[in-house]
Amino acid sequence: MMSINDSGSDGADRRSHPRYSDRSPVYVGDGALARRCRLVDVSSGGARIFVGRGADLAPHVILVDPRTGLSHRAAVVWRSEIEAGVRFLEEGVRYRVMTCTGDLGWNTGRESYRQAS
Domains in the chain with CATH codes? 20-95 (2.40.10.430)
| Run of H or E residues at 29 | strand 25-29
- CA–CA separation, 26 vs 92, rounded Å? 13
For residue 78, the model assigns a pLDDT of 96
3-class secondary structure, 102: helix
Q: Any idea how long the chain is?
A: 117
CB 45 within 8 A of CB 88: yes
For residue 13, the model assigns a pLDDT of 54
34-92 pLDDT, tens per residue? 899 999 998 888 999 999 998 889 999 999 888 888 888 999 999 999 999 999 997 66
pTM over 0.85: no
